[in-house]
């Protein structure tokens, strides 16, 4: 599989987990979810607690899908100029970078 295929799969995992949060926690989300959807920050729809919940769920989903444990909850990530939590696509790209760094 190519890197783009992996990113697409992780985007789908993130969207699935956002939809689960919407169903179980009454999370208000945009009508359309895609890689450009803002998650956290100025235009995002997640508060800090929902972000943590999503990150943990995505870590678990990645482990189930790829068979590898990956940590996405990095305190340094929040201070990056371009936070990996800003959009669904940014989080997917960050997850694949972490996954491949292994």
Q: Which residues contact 75 (CB under 8 A, 6 or more apart)?
A: none
Q: pLDDT tens digits for 48-75?
A: 999 999 999 999 999 999 999 999 987 7
Three-class SS of 56-101: HHHHHHHHHHHCCCCCCCCHHHHCCCCCCCCEHHHHHHHHHHHHHH
Token reading at 61: 């989903």
Q: Would you state the pLDDT for residue 95?
A: 96
Instruction: Look at the chain and count its residues.
Output: 102
Q: Which CATH number fits domain 3-101: 1.10.8, 1.10.1200, 1.10.287, 1.20.1740?
A: 1.10.1200
**Nearest by Cα to 76 from 84, 86, 68:** 84
**Which pLDDT band, with edges at 50, 70 and 90, does 39 fall under?**
very high
């Amino acid at each position: 599989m190519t890197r783009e295929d992996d990113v697409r799969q992780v985007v789908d995992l993130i969207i699935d987990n956002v939809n689960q949060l919407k169903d179980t926690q009454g999370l208000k989300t945009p009508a359309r979810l895609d890689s450009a959807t803002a998650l956290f920050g100025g235009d995002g729809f997640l508060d800090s607690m929902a972000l943590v919940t999503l990150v943990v769920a995505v870590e678990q989903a990645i482990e189930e899908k790829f068979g590898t444990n990956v940590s996405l909850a990095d305190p340094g990530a929040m201070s990056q100029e371009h936070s990996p939590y800003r959009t669904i696509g940014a989080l997917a790209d960050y997850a694949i970078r972490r996954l491949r760094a292994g």
